[in-house]
Amino acid sequence: MENPLTPEVLADPVALTRALVDIESVSLNEKAIADCVEQVLRAVPHLTTHRYGNTVMARTDLGRAQRVVLAGHLDTVPLNGNFPSSMRGDLMYGCGTSDMKSGVAYALHLAVTLPDPRYDVTYFFYEGEEIEQKYNGLNLVAEAHPEWLEADFAVLLEPTYGIVEAGCQGTMRAVVTTVGERAHSARSWHGVNAIHGAGEVLRRLAAYEARRVTLDGCAYREGMNAVRIHGGVAGNVVPDRCEIEVNYRFAPDRDPAQAEAHLREVFDGYALTVTDVAAGALPGLDAPAAQEFLAAVGAAPIGKLGWTDVARFAAMGIPALNFGPGDPNLAHHKDEHVEISKIRDGAATLHRWLAPA
């Protein structure tokens, strides 16, 4: 197809956002958008561009003392009657407008229009963020080409509504199991009902008081919830097993081992199996580039209540934060949209930060 990312479109982050939204890129179908982005970047003389799968990386090599990364994922969740984009006053509607093609537009716009940034910049556009981590382009490149991601600081252009959201929470899923003894339901006193036994597990969850932690001035509120329950054998059998799946969102001052220890303390006396875990990321606001970025934003940061790929950067020893124009509460919604004014304000902020003094 003819590349819709023309020079006129690339010069305007709003027009660029809409053009990116109108390239369908549901997870595992990122080739078309990656092709367009790669074609644009390879034509820019001040950039060196590489591609791995449907992940595209371009970088300046100006000999600056520090290097920063601007990163955004190219994929979206499945379409929901919200493609292509549409405009209603100051709002742009469409799949990916908030999460996160408006953020991707920031990076692509700057890559093309800012030949002499104050830092060396790596522009990173990756596939597979919205699905299982085995498809995540950031994860895949970290394994295959870790040198592509070497930097002093990173900005993940996820939706934050124009506010810096620092670090991120860790997340852990675990299954708490109650056991009993099967019996005919007509003679239930001969058995032990494992589903009834789950009542105490649920009572502990209902009474749980979430910890609140402040790190580098950023508040994080933990949460622990039952998200799924499974039990039962048949309509006339007292069940001998019940499984309660619990999701624990923990502050980034806890590592996965500490999070698991806390879960086991809460559910002492029950069998517990951890099924999935991802470490969080500390705010990382002490990095000089981070301090200068906060000054450009001009507003106090808040803690990220959720998990994002800043944790992958943190695992590589790279301080990172989240910043983008979209409203995170609209991500994955049928009526997903972004405010035009937020796109323009955020683009101006990034330009203030990166433009030479």
Point out the residues that are catalytic. Answer: 75, 129
**Contact yes or no for 190/183 (Cβ under 8 A):** yes
Q: How remote is the C-alpha of 114 from its chain's centroid?
A: 26
First to last CA, the chain: 40
Angle between helices 31-42 and 102-113 (to 10 degrees): 20
92 preceded by a cis bond (ω within 30 of 0):
no
Per-residue tokens: 100: 């996160």
HSE-up of 24 (CA within 13 Å, CB side)? 9
Query: Which DSSP letter does residue 100 get?
Result: I
Q: What separation in angstroms does the CA of 265 have from each of 36, 103, 262, 270, 351?
A: 51, 41, 5, 10, 48
Spatial CB neighbours of 241, under 8 Å, sequence gap ≥ 6: 177, 178, 179, 180, 194, 231
Compute how many other C-beta atoms are within 10 angstroms of the C-beta atom of residue 107. 24
Angle between helices 340-354 and 13-21 (to 10 degrees): 120
For the residues of 225-286, what is the DSSP string, one character each? EEEEEEE-S-TTEE-SEEEEEEEEEE-TTS-HHHHHHHHHHHTTTSEEEEEEEE--B---TT
Say if strands 337-339 and 91-93 run parallel, antiparallel, or are unpaired. antiparallel
d(CA 139, CA 122): 16
Say if strands 170-179 and 241-250 run parallel, antiparallel, or are unpaired. antiparallel
**Contact yes or no for 46/28 (Cβ under 8 A):** no
**Contact yes or no for 84/92 (Cβ under 8 A):** no
Say if strands 170-179 and 91-93 run parallel, antiparallel, or are unpaired. unpaired
